[in-house]
Amino acid sequence: MSLLELDSVSVFYGQTQALHEISLVVEPGEIVCLLGGNASGKSTTMKTILGLITPRSGEIRLAGERVTRSAPAARIRRGLASVPEARRVFPEMSVEDNLLTGAFTRRTGIRAELASVYESFPRLAERRRQPAGTLSGGEQQMLAFGRALMSAPTLICMDEPTMGLAPIFVDRVLDLIAALNRDRGLAVLMVEQNAELALSIAHRGYVLNTGHLVLDGPAPSLIDNPAIRTAYFGA
């Protein structure tokens, strides 16, 4: 059973159609990237999956169960988690409180999860009492990952995880994503501006252009595909 299925999902902002019958799947243990230029509908797709926007038509399923109109909390309980665009840690809360906030939808196993996140990211354990706003960009990205892990997800949605990071952190973050996928068996759905970087760790990719799904396939087949260039820069 697929972890996530979108079945001809259409989204409107007022009169404007932002997504045109998007269908996509994420299988267990996969890294899937969602590519496209500005205003292609990547972020809208992510928000729709997370439940921040309700589609006008189509269906969304998580682990086979329909969640098209469910609140974000219900989706998180079904294994979805989010690493928001630009990390969006809570700057005045401590590192530990940020992590606990990630476990908002859980009632049990929170302490064990916390210990496991600290084990994966010792840096966060060192800084657990520090306000998140005082961390470096790379550390904040780790915190955003850790916060997402706190709900014990099977699929993490990442919106531009490398955005605004120093170049040395970009590779480290990508390694981290690959490691989370490999070691924990986590599936990842990732939006990236930088198609080449994203495809270097992804298994499959979808390409969006002005709200239409124009291309999909295994990562290697997309890397040199001229259609990607079109999607980003126009015909």
Partner 1 sequence: MLDTALAGLVNGSSYALLALGLSLIFGVANVINFAHASVFAVGAMSGWWFSVDLDWPLWAVLLGVTAVTGLLGLVINVIAVTPLAKAPPIAALLSTFAVSVVVDNGAQLVFGPETRRFPALLATDNLGLGGLRFGTLDVTILVVAIGLMLVLGWFLRASRYGRAIRAVAQDRDAAAQMGIPLARVQNLAFVIASVLGGVAGVLGGMYLNNISPTVGSTVGMSAFAAATLGGLGSLPGAVAGGLLLGVVEAFGVSWWGGNARTLITFAVLLIVLWVRPSGLFGKRAPLAAEPMTGTFFGAARTVRLRPWQVAVAAVAAYVVPAVALDDYTVQIGVQVVVYAILALSLTLVSGQAGQISLGQAAPLAIGAYTSALLTTATGLDFWLSLPISGVVAAVLSVVLVSPSWRLRGHYVSIATLATGLLVAAAAVNFDWLTNGPSGVSAIPPPTLFGASVSAPLAVYFLDLTILLVVLLLVVRLRRSTLGRIWSAVREDEVAARSSGIAVADYKSLAFGIGGFVAGIGGALFAQQYGYIDPSVFGISVSLLALTIVVLGGLNSPLGAVVGAIVLVGLPEALRMLQETRMLTYGLLLLAVVLFRPQGLMGKVAR
Binding site for partner 1 (CB under 8 A): 50, 52, 71-73, 75-77, 82, 84, 88-93, 97, 100-102, 104-105, 147, 151
Q: State which residue, 100 or 231, has the beta carbon closest to partner 1.
A: 100
Rounded to whole angstroms, the Cα distance separating 128 from 67 reads: 34
State the Cα–Cα distance between residues 131 and 105, nearest whole angstrom: 22
Q: How far is the CB of 228 from partner 1 (least distance, A)?
A: 28
C-alpha 98/C-alpha 227 separation (Å) is: 40
* Residue whose token pair is 């079904």: 78
**165 vs 207, which CB is nearer to partner 1?**
165
Closer to partner 1 at the Cβ: 100 or 215? 100
Structure tokens of 37? 């230029």
Closest distance to partner 1 from the beta carbon of 165 (Å): 18
Burial class (CB in 10 A: 0-12, 13-18, 19+), 64: exposed
**Least distance (Å) from partner 1 to the CB of residue 159?**
9
Q: Shortest distance, CB of residue 87 to partner 1, whole angstroms?
A: 9
What is the C-alpha separation between 96 and 102, in angstroms, rounded? Answer: 10
Q: Which is nearer to partner 1, 112 or 175 (CB)?
A: 112
Closer residue to partner 1 (CB): 98 or 209: 98
Minimum distance between the CB of residue 66 and partner 1, rounded to whole angstroms?
A: 18
Looking at the Cβ atoms of 93 and 219, the one nearer to partner 1 is: 93
The distance of closest approach from Cβ of residue 202 to partner 1 in the complex, given in angstroms and rounded to an integer, is: 22
In angstroms, rounded to a whole number, what is the distance separating the alpha carbons of residues 40 and 214? 11
Q: Which of 179, 174, 168 is nearest to 190 (CA)?
A: 174
For the chain, the straight-line distance linking the first and the last C-alpha, in angstroms and rounded, comes to 37
Helix (H, G, I), strand (E, B) or coil at 10: strand
